[in-house]
């Protein structure tokens, strides 16, 4: 992958470019979803693609999430590489039978003889006052299902590479785009490139505490790390990028050096992915821990509509700072 100095794309533009490049290279790549054609999608994720590739490859569908995923699944098992869009992550609940009982199971039930190169894209996360039915973070539910891969980029560079890898993967993948990151800009190479699924990235090295976060929380964790650095606390921030399969090896290697860990996610804390990650850290790095693994997530409540309540609901940079300081202040385990 080469550098392209000065060339910046937004998070959503990086997504669109990944799709465009794969469609141009492979006629079996098609797209389907509500309003993705002429309108380009509710978040403009598919802007311009129908004009470039035609109505047969960028298909506007009826308002039926189960039908959209079913269309993609049927196309995938018949040799296509479909990308199907579910506007909001909340709406995936309508299509869970197709996703959980069909797409995730077919390869296993056919003894590996069938492939399902289906990519499901969706918008996740809160912070837009979109209320309880348009703001959820449901990645833990999806990560619990064997057969699915779940991807959650935190920046435009990873968005382009991860989306390209999702399209080329022969298994069903779910690409979650955080709605509050759509306008985030960064330098992104023009050429095609592939960011491997299942590989985390250390995006800020540090020696005092490991912070694991994904999606928008990655950027909040980086900002919190800058604040903490002024007090002499150096955070090592890890972006998993892919949540299923999860790269626990990179996390454990970090914790064995820093001896402390904080896991941050926007989803509800109870039953969240942070609990699984904390458990795996404890299983693989217990002897290295100087304090219990901390978890920071949303309260056990639907996402509020009120901007003030929503802001209090979502973990913030300030709360990450407080959590890290609390972990650093804990007495040594066994001390």
CB of 96 closer than 8 Å to CB of 144: no
The answer to whether domain 8-187 has CATH 3.40.50.970 is yes
17, 22, 34, 134: the catalytic one is: 134
Q: What are the boundaries of each domain within the chain?
A: 8-187, 201-327
pLDDT tier, 41 (very low <50, low <70, confident <90, very high otherwise): very high
65, 236, 266, 310: the catalytic one is: 65
Mean pLDDT of the chain: 96
Name every residue whose Cβ is closer than 8 Å to that of residue 230 and which is 6 or more positions away in sequence: none
Q: Do the domains spanning 8-187 and 201-327 agree at the CATH topology level?
A: yes
Provide the pLDDT for residue 5: 61
**N residues, the chain:** 335
Alpha-carbon dihedral of residues 173, 179, 184, 186, nearest 10 degrees?
Answer: 0
pLDDT tier, 303 (very low <50, low <70, confident <90, very high otherwise): very high
Full-prediction pTM beyond 0.85? Answer: yes
Write the burial class of residue 54 (CB in 10 Å: 0-12 exposed, 13-18 middle, 19+ buried).
Answer: exposed
Provide the pLDDT for residue 332: 77
Does 65 qualify as catalytic in the annotation? yes
The answer to whether domain 201-327 has CATH 3.40.50.300 is no
Q: Give the bridge partners for 150, in sequence order.
A: 174, 244
Provide the pLDDT for residue 335: 53
What is the average pLDDT across 4-14? 87
pLDDT in tens, 60-109: 999 999 999 999 999 999 999 999 999 999 999 999 999 999 999 999 99
pLDDT tier, 334 (very low <50, low <70, confident <90, very high otherwise): low
Res. 2: pLDDT tops 70 = no
pLDDT in tens, 155-180: 999 999 999 999 999 999 999 999 99
Does 144 qualify as catalytic in the annotation? no
Res. 3: pLDDT tops 60 = no
């Amino acid at each position: 992958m080469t550098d392209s100095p000065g060339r910046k794309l937004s998070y959503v533009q990086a997504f669109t470019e990944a799709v465009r490049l794969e469609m141009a290279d492979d006629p079996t790549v098609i797209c389907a979803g509500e309003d993705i054609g002429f309108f380009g999608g509710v978040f403009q994720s598919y802007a311009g693609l129908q004009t470039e590739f035609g109505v047969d490859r960028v298909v506007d569908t009826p308002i039926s999430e189960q039908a959209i995923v079913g269309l993609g699944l049927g196309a995938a098992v018949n040799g296509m590489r479909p990308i199907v869009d579910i506007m909001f992550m909340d709406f995936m609940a309508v299509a869970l039978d197709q996703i959980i009982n069909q797409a995730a199971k077919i390869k296993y039930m056919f003894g590996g003889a069938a492939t399902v190169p289906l990519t499901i894209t969706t918008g996740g996360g809160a912070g837009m006052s979109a209320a309880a039915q348009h703001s959820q973070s449901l990645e833990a539910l999806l990560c619990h299902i064997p057969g699915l891969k779940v991807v959650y980029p935190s920046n435009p560079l990873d968005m382009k590479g991860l989306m390209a890898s999702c399209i080329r993967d022969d298994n069903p993948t779910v690409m979650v785009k955080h709605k509050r990151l759509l306008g985030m800009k960064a330098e992104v190479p023009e050429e095609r490139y592939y960011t491997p699924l299942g590989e985390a990235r250390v995006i800020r090295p540090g020696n005092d505490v490991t912070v694991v976060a994904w999606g928008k929380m990655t950027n909040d964790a980086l900002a919190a790390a800058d604040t903490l650095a002024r007090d002499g606390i150096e955070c090592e921030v890890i972006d998993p990028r892919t949540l299923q399969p999860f790269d626990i090896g990179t996390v454990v290697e970090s914790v064995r050096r820093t001896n402390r860990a904080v896991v941050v996610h926007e989803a509800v804390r109870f039953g969240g992915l942070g609990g699984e990650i904390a458990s795996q850290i404890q299983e693989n790095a217990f002897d290295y821990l100087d304090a219990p693994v901390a978890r920071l997530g949303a309260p056990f409540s639907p996402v509020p509509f009120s901007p003030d309540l929503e802001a209090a609901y979502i973990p913030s940079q300030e709360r990450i700072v407080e959590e890290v300081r609390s972990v650093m202040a804990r007495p040594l385990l066994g001390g």
